[in-house]
Chains A and B, each alone.
Chain A
Amino acid sequence: MRYEHVPWKNNREVNMAQTKTFSIQGMHCASCVRILEKSLGKVPGVERASVNLATGKATVVCGGQVTDEKLASAVANVGYKAMVGHQEQTLDEEKEQKTRELKDLRTKVLVSLGLAAPIVWGSFPGLIQTSPSFLQDFIVQFLLALPVQFWAGLTFYRATIPALRHRTANMDTLVALGTSVAFIYSTVVTFFPQMVSQAGIEPMPYFDVTAVIIGLILLGRYFEAKAKAGTSEAIKKLIGLQAKTARVVRAGKEIDISIDQVQIGDIIRVRPGEKIPVDGVITEGESSIDESMVTGESIPVDKTRGDKVIGATMNKSGSFLYKAEKVGQETLLAQIIKLVEEAQGSKAPIQRLADLISSYFVPVVIMLAIATFVSWYVFGQQSAFLFAMLNSIAVLIIACPCAMGLATPTAIMVGTGRGAEHGILIKDAESLEIANKINVVIFDKTGTLTNGKPIVTDIVTSDKAKVTKEKLLQLAASLEKGSEHSLAEAIVKKADEQGVALYKVTGFKAIPGHGVEGMVGKQKVFLGNRKMMEKEKIDIEPTRSHLVGLESAGKTVMMLAVDGKLIGLVAVADTVKDTAKDGVLALQKMGIETVMITGDNARTAKAIAGQVGIKRVLAEVLPQDKEAEVRKIQAEGKKVAMVGDGINDAPALAASDVGIAMGSGTDVAIEAGNITLINRDLRSVARAVDLSKKTMGIIRQNLFWAFGYNIILIPVAMGVLYPLTGWLLSPALASFAMAASSISVVANSLRLKNARL
């Protein structure tokens, strides 16, 4: 990893110089850096180009005439790919374009409804008598409707014409078709009334219908676009979390540099109230850090030297120095963003039916509109032509393919975003859908339900030995100092915490499967299990009752003997996570069976399971057999979620219906599971299932509404209720219902934003 500079090409002042920073794909080594810098440096107008292998970015200082395209082509010429202003640029562009579109739409809505109002006043039965006579003039109505149809409504034609050229159709086609029919008929009535009269039809234009339809549909689009912007808020918020600069210590000086220029190994200063720029490990100082924005964990975490910090989290109290370990696309935040983006681009299986229907929908609606026209014309009584025309227009307008298209993706967008806010990363929409059907959750024990690090839980002294607990710990820790066993580590750590000074040990010997022995001064000391005591013929009777009690609580007990006499016991155990019991209980309350799987013996396993409230225990399962156990439960006809750390239980996670990987700070095993919990909070398992249930609930409501709306209202618009009830749907009312339908689907999805998890 290196950072190289190309020297200035010349010393003249750079007029109108600008700095462009962009990502480059395809770099592997330092020679790539040189090739790229050389190629970029050759672009006329480029004053300086530096390429950073670590961050995968190029920084170019150049004159105003150098375009992004020229830089991209210089990069492409040597076989790499430049993402010139990629993510930020696209986001800004998107935002800018959206703002422009919304503004434009708003103007069109105001103008079209503003022009529709006088037309309605001058033509609507009941209102017409109150209107000034000029508004009743057909030519005035035509002039008012003209800009609505061809300026505000231009958007429908612009979408329809190229679509027809490709022999496809969408909602705009239906609107363009419906309003055009009404507009052309009304124009004929206005300018050639005798033609209509001769056909026995009262010459009455429908400019009110065309203007109101266009006005209301555009109004609907306006609200829909505003609501849709809310569905992608979570990802925008995540991208916005990224710090812009970092205060890096270089050559003994602290300098502020752009985040893109931070390299792995840089020492970065973070002061109170500042954002941590990239992922790394604290080298000096300590602080309390608010990680809620990334992990969803609400309580600030105290961190000190050696602890990992996450980029984009907030330093609260202290000032510290840390070493950058992950930069650019490698940071936790970048990975989270990528995962959420991918999930939002995936498709839930529930959408399949909507997909199938949407590909036939618009042509079928056009065919139904033709059938409606024919039926009303042939079988209608009086004014058959007008009924035929208005009802077929109503059919074209009421049909709402958008609601079906929006039903699932908007809910997935909001649901996955909401999950990310709580430290629940969902890999794809399919996982979200399956999680809703889960009825068994299997927890791996070590490192998942427990902290995975044994600690000393009990120190028991023998009544006869007359030693203090401190002395016992002192002897045990002195002996274990030379051992590498994880239990030894726990004992030495305990002594360290209590400030106990250690003895010098001579003749240390570790006996595998038994324990350790050594000389402390002139005393021969043994620390080990029952087997060791039996071997050394040491009587364990004085502490037997304690021993049995501790062992049945699932703890590992080691006995300490000095000169052939037992003086006490040290019990070591893995502790359960604070959130384990509540996490298990929350799942049980949802009616989900909880199971624990472990390689430990049945007694230890049961003790831990008892502490967290799990009844079904699969003990003494070798790591390679965990997958088979998952399959056995699936064979019972159950949908299984497996919760593990994603490292040594990856096959079991993969075999389960939904693999849930517990991440740990920056080492997120994102690839391991279908769902990754970055906050290590076991209550998040139930939250993930809850989120899935809520999202799927919303999707079902949306699909039910979108299908139901079309299935019920299209026949109503066709006039099937007319023979029974005399009901017909006016085209203007149809446009209102259509606009309301797609807004309601998006608004329903947005409810997930406020869902309690």
Chain B
Amino acid sequence: MELKDLLVIGLGFVGIIFTYWFFLGKKPSFAEATGGQGIDVVVEGGYSPEVISIPRGKTTKINFIRKDSNSCLEEVVLPDFKIKKYLPLNQKVTIEITPQKSGEFGYSCGMNMYHGKIIVR
């Protein structure tokens, strides 16, 4: 095995570790809503903030604003709340939810590629 092979193996190893750390090791952005307050979620290359904490039994408005033309993000699906909404580009789409159960509820784009989470406390 030549030196360049060892170098490529080393770089490959670093690349794999970096990929893991970069995509899977990140801390999701977080926002908390108190009663009656709305939360803006920017849809651009994912959801920002990704994790939203909302109170149980109170109606919370989540305003999705899609700034990304990627068609993958054109729909947002909150399956536990039976909501699927089309998000027109650069327009605010408000979703109102009144969760009755505490817990963590995932949401995603229509093609299930980008994910976010709603924590009901």
Contact = CB atoms under 8 A, between A and B. Distances in A.
Nearest to B68: A162
B5 A370 contact: no
B112 A355 contact: yes
Given A345-B84, A358-B113, A409-B110, A371 B70 contact: no
Nearest to A429: B79
- Which interface class (under 10, 10 to 19, 20 to 34, 35 or more) fits A? 35 or more
B88 A97 contact: yes
Nearest to B111: A405
B46 interface: yes
Contacts of B83: 342, 345
B71 A101 contact: yes
Interface residues of B, number: 46
B26 A367 contact: no
Contacts of B78: 345
Given A345-B77, A345-B82, A371-B12, A170 B113 contact: yes
A351 B72 CA distance: 18
Contacts of A161: 45
Given A346-B82, A362-B23, A367-B19, A355 B70 contact: no
Given A343-B82, A428-B82, A159 B68 contact: yes
A378 B72 contact: no
A351 B45 CA distance: 23
Contacts of B85: 345
B109 to A, nearest CB: 8
Contacts of A221: 71
A338 B57 CA distance: 22
B15 interface: yes
A466 to B, nearest CB: 68
Contacts of A343: 82
A535 interface: no
B89 interface: yes
A359 B112 CA distance: 8
B46 A378 contact: no
A342 B83 CA distance: 6
B69 interface: yes
Interface string A343-355: 1111100010011
Contacts of A360: 24
Given A165-B45, A343-B82, A358 B16 contact: no
A427 to B, nearest CB: 8
B69 A158 contact: yes
A402 B77 contact: no
Nearest to A376: B8
A494 B69 CA distance: 68
A171 interface: yes
B16 A94 contact: no
Given A159-B72, A346-B82, A371-B16, A167 B22 contact: yes
A12 interface: no
A77 interface: no
Interface string B94-117: 000000000000101011111100
6 contacts: A97-B89, A155-B70, A161-B45, A163-B46, A165-B45, A405-B110
Given A359-B115, A378-B5, 18 more contacts: A159-B69, A159-B72, A166-B46, A170-B72, A170-B113, A170-B114, A342-B82, A342-B83, A345-B79, A345-B84, A346-B79, A355-B112, A363-B20, A366-B19, A367-B15, A373-B8, A409-B77, A409-B110
Q: 7 tightest CB-CB pairs across the interface, nearest first? A: A162-B45, A345-B84, A347-B79, A374-B12, A159-B70, A163-B45, A405-B111
